[in-house]
A and B are shown apart, each in its own frame.
Chain A
């Protein structure tokens, strides 16, 4: 274990392992290009519940249960539960995982919560303060819509830069030592604010944060983009991804070819462009989770990826701050994974 540079925690090569993951996907996600990578695909985004919020809590709970099953542990074996979601006061995390009755640390950095959670979880495991940690996030298109924008049946026309909040939840079990995937580094991001105000332009709001954290991570670790088989951002969407790639080329951090091949975005990957009302792509706290713990970890298992960097990105606005005319600050945290045994 060591601190690298200003913001990166090196956890060691074989210290923190992901021993199991789970993904619970909503209907649109289950019909998308990554449909066969999810543990549980739902055909009803309401999951038989009487509110969207309870539906999201149910998804989160199922993700936690499935992760424990796959890790062959009982919830009682978990020392610490870390996680977050987009609901005010993290109600999906706290109320959804309440039945687990374990010590809990809720974290919030909007859609970057997955990586913030993984950083905290890895810290607990690496320092020996917890042996087994469950970490996860959830999001739901209707709870996000209701809270940040408009009633779900309201007829508002969205522009092409809009994104669709992913409905789903995912979780992982972290433990000391070796496993199928290793968590090797965590880079904690700084707030980036380039004056974007429109909630329809989240990709543009968050791209500078992803760029800054990626740059900081490479500087701290002494690595270059080529040291990674793939770098993915959380939810910049197609437009935000284009902006990021441009920034990387402009600042000499990647050639245009490398930016195209080695840098991708979970929001751009989770939906097909032709699916209804997905616009620029997916967003939400579960976007990076579903793509990372589902598709990308499976690629690592199959040997197609050895080293992966996930830079989840979050837009740190609230309804009130946007209405009061504030700009949208954003943040990105990075987690480096390596293929384990």
Chain B
């Protein structure tokens, strides 16, 4: 009995599904929309400030804006509130670049106990690795394809 046959598994999965509380998708999506929108709104304000007072061209202002948001997320992670905020906001905190900063900062902080080299250095990209790897790999192929198509 303990190692279930496929039929027993299917029956059990059906029971589990029936008794498992569903995720509040609508509520979570609404929260993600609002928080994500607000973070982007903050980015928009910062971007405008960089253009008006920082001497950046509108097309260039995206970079320092992202750097400021990354700094803010790192600070909130360091003081221990980003994870609480993320439980409420879900993708609203994970999808903006602040989420990327949180993955790096939280991993670096956590593994400090294993030292500077193996701990901080060796683990900083633990959670953010996939984003960088797949971003670069896909960018390589896409740029390659476009270059080839343009030069055929």
Contact = CB atoms under 8 A, between A and B. Distances in A.
Question: A and B touching (C-beta < 8 Å)?
Answer: yes
Interface of A: 50-53, 146, 150-161, 190-196, 201, 204, 208-209, 212, 239, 242-243, 246-247, 277
Contact of B21 (A50, A157, A194, A239): A239
Nearest to A205: B16
Contacts of B111: 151
B94 A151 contact: no
Interface string B19-41: 11101000010000000000000
A195 B106 contact: no
Contact of A161 (B13, B21, B109): B21
A246 B8 CA distance: 15
A52 B67 CA distance: 31
Contact of A156 (B2, B15, B86): B86
Contacts of B20: 161, 201, 204, 239
B87 A157 contact: yes
B93 A195 contact: no
B102 to A, nearest CB: 5
A145 to B, nearest CB: 9
A146 B19 CA distance: 29
Contact of B110 (A153, A159, A204): A153
Interface stretch (B45-53, B55-63, B75-83): B75-83
A193 B110 contact: no
A208 B4 contact: yes
A193 B12 CA distance: 11
B127 interface: yes
A158 B87 contact: yes
Nearest to B93: A155
A44 B53 CA distance: 46
Contacts of A52: 113
Contact of B109 (A153, A156, A209): A153
B110 A152 contact: yes
Nearest to A152: B110
Nearest to A153: B106
A243 B15 CA distance: 7
Contact of A194 (B4, B82, B85, B103): B4
A154 B3 contact: no
A212 B8 CA distance: 14
A212 B106 contact: no
B3 A242 contact: no
B106 A246 contact: no
Contacts of A201: 16, 20
A159 B3 CA distance: 27
Nearest to A213: B2
A195 B83 contact: no
Contacts of B77: 153, 155
10 tightest A-B CB contacts, nearest first:
A155-B86, A151-B110, A153-B106, A51-B113, A192-B2, A151-B106, A195-B9, A154-B106, A157-B90, A194-B12
Contacts of B102: 153-155
Given A151-B109, A155-B86, A155-B99, 4 more contacts: A51-B113, A151-B110, A155-B77, A212-B2
A196 B28 CA distance: 24
Contact of B13 (A191, A195, A239, A242): A195
B23 A151 contact: no
B119 to A, nearest CB: 10
Nearest to B87: A157
A154 B127 contact: yes
A158 B21 CA distance: 13
B95 to A, nearest CB: 11
A159 B23 contact: yes
Interface in B88-115: 89-91, 93-94, 99, 102-103, 105-107, 109-111, 113
